[in-house]
């Protein structure tokens, strides 16, 4: 990646964090954060692994599609990447994000890395390891703290000068799932950045943007639509509705303490 793109994207990510007043700490729920900004997030499994996500500007609204047939950490990265398109690539109107990386894709990747893993909090996280070198266990801790994949963390630490390319490539030969289990993490926890279970690959109510879900449920609670219609709107069986009728919170500020 050209250094100019990297630096411009990092600066844009820092500006966006400033605008959102979220400091430099990890973002607990990046989907909720971008949905709070009016972006409509649609998530669904797309097998094959070639497509991470898409951005579309439809009648002035930003839509992003996230492939849930990827680990939770990668989905979070995709959301941040697509959010970047919603901020800086609106004139393109529709972008399909694959492994091909023209400049605007490199920019969005660099933005996502900087947005999810700010330099200040990342350096602080590894402050005690600056001399001895980043250990595998601490790297896993970092992935869990910042909600990122092992690979995204590895590249980010290299770019920030905290890890040499050689050391990173050696770390990449390890299995993140095994490391996480060895370090006491529950890798079957659906919130784990390394989680990739059946649930991630099923269509679910999480498919739809929160604003859409909240509006559908509100219409039902006001008696404007029937239970059967609500189930149809949310793409679930009527039997499964009860569990979904808890209020959908869109206003919580999703920033970790």
The distance of closest approach from Cβ of residue 206 to Zn ion in the complex, given in angstroms and rounded to an integer, is 21
The distance of closest approach from Cβ of residue 96 to Zn ion in the complex, given in angstroms and rounded to an integer, is 8
How does 93-125 read in b/e, with b if 16+ C-beta sit within 10 Å? eebebeeeeeebbebbbbbbbbbbbbbeebeeb
Whole-angstrom distance, CA of residue 3 vs CA of residue 1:
6
Q: Which two tokens stand for residue 233?
A: 């709107």
How does 202-237 read in b/e, with b if 16+ C-beta sit within 10 Å? eebbbbbbbbbbeebbeebeeeebeeeebbebbebe
Residue number, nearest CB to Zn ion: 97
The distance of closest approach from Cβ of residue 104 to Zn ion in the complex, given in angstroms and rounded to an integer, is 7
Complex with Zn ion: residue 96 or 181, whichever CB lies closer? 96
What is the contact surface with Zn ion in residues (CB under 5 A)?
A: 97, 105, 108
Complex with Zn ion: residue 34 or 163, whichever CB lies closer? 34
The distance of closest approach from Cβ of residue 158 to Zn ion in the complex, given in angstroms and rounded to an integer, is 21
Complex with Zn ion: residue 84 or 140, whichever CB lies closer? 84
CB atoms within 10 A of CB 85: 26
CA angle, residues 114, 120, 121, in degrees to nearest 5: 85
For the chain, the distance separating the N- and C-terminal CA atoms, rounded to the nearest angstrom, is 33
Complex with Zn ion: residue 97 or 234, whichever CB lies closer? 97
The distance of closest approach from Cβ of residue 54 to Zn ion in the complex, given in angstroms and rounded to an integer, is 8
Complex with Zn ion: residue 9 or 108, whichever CB lies closer? 108
Enclosing H/E stretch for 111: helix 103-116
Q: What does DSSP assign to residue 26?
A: P
Complex with Zn ion: residue 34 or 108, whichever CB lies closer? 108
The distance of closest approach from Cβ of residue 13 to Zn ion in the complex, given in angstroms and rounded to an integer, is 15
């Amino acid at each position: 990646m050209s250094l100019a793109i990297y630096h411009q994207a990092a600066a844009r990510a820092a500006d966006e964090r400033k605008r959102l007043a979220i400091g430099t700490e990890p973002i607990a729920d990046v989907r909720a954060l971008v949905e709070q900004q009016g972006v409509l997030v649609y998530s669904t499994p797309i097998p094959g692994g070639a497509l991470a996500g898409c951005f579309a500007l439809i009648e002035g609204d930003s839509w992003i599609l996230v492939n849930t047939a990827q680990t939770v950490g990668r989905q979070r990265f995709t959301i941040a990447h697509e959010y970047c398109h919603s901020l800086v690539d609106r004139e393109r109107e529709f972008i399909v994000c694959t492994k091909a990386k023209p400049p605007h894709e490199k920019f969005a990747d660099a933005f996502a890395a900087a947005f999810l893993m700010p330099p200040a909090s990342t350096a602080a996280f590894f402050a005690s390891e600056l001399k001895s070198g980043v250990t595998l266990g601490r790297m896993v801790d970092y992935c869990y703290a910042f909600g990122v994949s092992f690979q995204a963390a590895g590249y980010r630490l290299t770019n920030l000068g905290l890890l040499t390319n050689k050391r990173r490539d050696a770390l990449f030969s390890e299995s993140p799932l095994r490391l996480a289990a060895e370090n006491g993490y529950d890798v079957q926890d659906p919130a784990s950045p390394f989680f990739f279970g059946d649930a991630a690959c099923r269509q679910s109510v999480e498919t739809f943007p929160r604003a859409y879900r909240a509006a559908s449920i509100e219409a039902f609670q006001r008696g404007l639509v029937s239970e059967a219609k609500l189930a149809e709107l949310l793409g679930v069986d009527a039997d499964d509705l009860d569990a979904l009728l808890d209020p959908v919170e869109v206003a919580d500020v999703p920033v970790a303490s």
